[in-house]
Amino acid sequence: MRIAVIALGKIGLPLAVQFASHGWQVIAVDIDPAVVTSINAGRSHVTEEPELAAAGLSIRLAPALAALRVERLDRIDRALQAMRDPSYGTCALCGREIEVERLAAALETRLCGGCAGEAVQPRA
């Protein structure tokens, strides 16, 4: 089973690590690129909190950090950015309307299916 943990602060990171240390596949996301980079490099920003380090969390965090896959919310950021543009929903190459199914699958897309060279499957 997979678990997603959103935001890796004092609660989110230890929680994600606990799931990972019990063999669950954990995907964690955080909006702070510095947090994502440090965790993906095997370092925890949370263990610098004195009370957490004193509780031995830093020791338990270290091996389980390797089991975490941490991502930044770039897709959502890009989608929100794209929606601010008045031309949102219009293909950046041909100017036609982007298919609703395509936008539903990838909110941040700027190209219609034809220009992207992808087949868009209509909804049943």
Instruction: Return residues touching Zn ion (CB under 5 A).
Output: 91, 93-94, 112, 115
Under 8 Å between Cβ of 47 and 5: no
Which C-beta is closer to Zn ion: that of 106 or that of 115?
A: 115
Which C-beta is closer to Zn ion: that of 7 or that of 116?
A: 116
SS3 state at 29: strand
Least spacing, CB of residue 120 vs Zn ion, in Å:
11
Which C-beta is closer to Zn ion: that of 12 or that of 114?
A: 114
Question: Which pair of tokens denotes residue 94?
Answer: 């041909």
Which C-beta is closer to Zn ion: that of 12 or that of 89?
A: 89
Rg (CA), the chain: 19
Q: Summarize the chain as % helix, strand, coil (round to 5).
A: 45, 15, 40
Least spacing, CB of residue 76 vs Zn ion, in Å:
23
Q: How far apart are CA 6 and CA 29, in angstroms?
A: 5
Least spacing, CB of residue 98 vs Zn ion, in Å:
7
Least spacing, CB of residue 94 vs Zn ion, in Å:
3
